[in-house]
Structure 1
């Protein structure tokens, strides 16, 4: 009887631990990990992603804390919500992202990695397509948020001028 009294708590704890281990584990990917699994570089989206959803149809919706500005080869602007259809190696019908080209802001329509071995990524910006080195997008960039940019506006560097 003394054996049971001293060992029952241990057995109950052991049983609870075994049940805990058998529960399914949720492996939620960060947006940057998701991009990698889909054959895209993690740095296509900034570090400041708050959350994202991916529907069964492949519609990706990425939520940022607020609109932000980053720089790759040129300036890139992200609205607070970026949407695109995600398939392997492609983000198509992109909404909420634009790039600065020759002092004009043009919407990014598609981002495609046809052959990762080529080391190139294709950006369709409507009036043109440009190929860039994949190495520019290895790491997620930092964002300059509108609040920071508004402070610069007081010094003569306006948000619209930087965006």
Structure 2
């Protein structure tokens, strides 16, 4: 009876570990970690991604979504960037709200992981944020209203960004 209980406990423990691991990280988050980037740069809603030989990374989400780091962030359905060790450069499809304006994130760089800082280039400025904000993949609100999309589009046009969302 004791042997049965020990086997049962071992099987349940292994199952719990596997379930926890599958819920906590996905292949995109494993890729980010292997490139010296925090796993929380992309939300949990990633369906798939493609990494090309050129270093171009395309990340496909279930749909556009909103989340929050230090300010609100907006992910389009597809986010593209050049992936190098410690950086995502030439980012397309990610914007951050700054002073009521939505500005596109251009680059995300971790120069020195020991510093505990990550650099976001939002075109008009560089922001240094704590890496601790990106320890876990964020939940994303996928019900983005049409009013929000119009507001975001308008704020980008006012500062000279005419790209369609």
TM-score normalised by the chain length of structure 1: 0.74
Cα root mean square deviation, aligned: 1.6
**How far off its partner does 1:159 sit?**
2.6
Question: Given the alignment, which residue of 101, 104, 107 partners 1:104?
Answer: 101
Distance 1:161 1:100, change over 3 A: farther
Aligned to 1:94: 91
Q: Across the two proteins, how many residue pairs are aligned to each other?
A: 127
* Bigger radius of gyration: 1
Distance 1:78 1:43, change over 3 A: same
| Structure 1 portions without partners, runs of 5+ | 1-28
- What secondary structure is seen at the aligned counterpart in 2 of 1:144? coil
1:65-104 alignment, distance < 5 Å: 65-104=62-101
- What secondary structure is seen at the aligned counterpart in 2 of 1:139? coil
Instruction: Return structure 1 stretches of 4+ with deviation > 2 angstroms.
Output: 158-163
Question: Given the alignment, which residue of 83, 88, 111 partners 1:114?
Answer: 111
Structure 1 Cα separation of the partners of residues 134 and 128 of structure 2: 12
Structure 2 Cα separation of the partners of residues 54 and 139 of structure 1: 21
Aligned to 2:137: 140
TM-score normalised by the chain length of structure 2: 0.73
**How far off its partner does 1:40 sit?**
0.2
